[in-house]
Amino acid sequence: MEKNINPQIVEIQIGSRNLRKIKIYPLSMGDQIKITGLVESVVSQFEGSGEEGIESVVFIVEFIKNNIGELIHYATDEDPEKLLEEVTNMQLIEICNIIWVINYGDVLKNAVSLFEKAKIQFLLKRQSQPSVSDTDTD
């Protein structure tokens, strides 16, 4: 029933021993702005750190460890600590992938398509305006 209301709700199964279903919801615009700001902040810190190799992996793991609970809180009805005790690494990556596709990937594709349509429409309107009158005679 909920999928009829919001088709972006995705159900997946999690668990390392016993599987159970959880729902992943699209982020609200406000939550998406918060998460985007968090990611931008971390990316700029990472770029400025000059870390390479194993240090970069440690940096990324620290980011995930410190922020995954917030992402889980925004995208599910689950208790982040409980979910992290049940979920496998592969399942967590799948959750992150779903969150990305629902909130950023599809939105980005649609936004690019919208801008392309607007650009074409704008160019067509500009070209249809007469620039010189062909009825003038000397």
- Predicted confidence (pLDDT) per residue in 88-125, tens digit: 989 988 998 899 888 888 777 877 888 888 878 777 76
0.85 exceeded by pTM: no
- Predicted confidence (pLDDT) per residue in 60-88, tens digit: 777 777 888 888 999 999 999 999 999 99
Whether 72 and 24 have beta carbons less than 8 Å apart is answered as: no
For 20, the 3-state DSSP assignment is: strand
- Predicted confidence (pLDDT) per residue in 23-36, tens digit: 999 999 899 888 88
Find the helix or strand (DSSP H, E) in which 55 lies: helix 54-75
Whether 83 and 72 have beta carbons less than 8 Å apart is answered as: yes
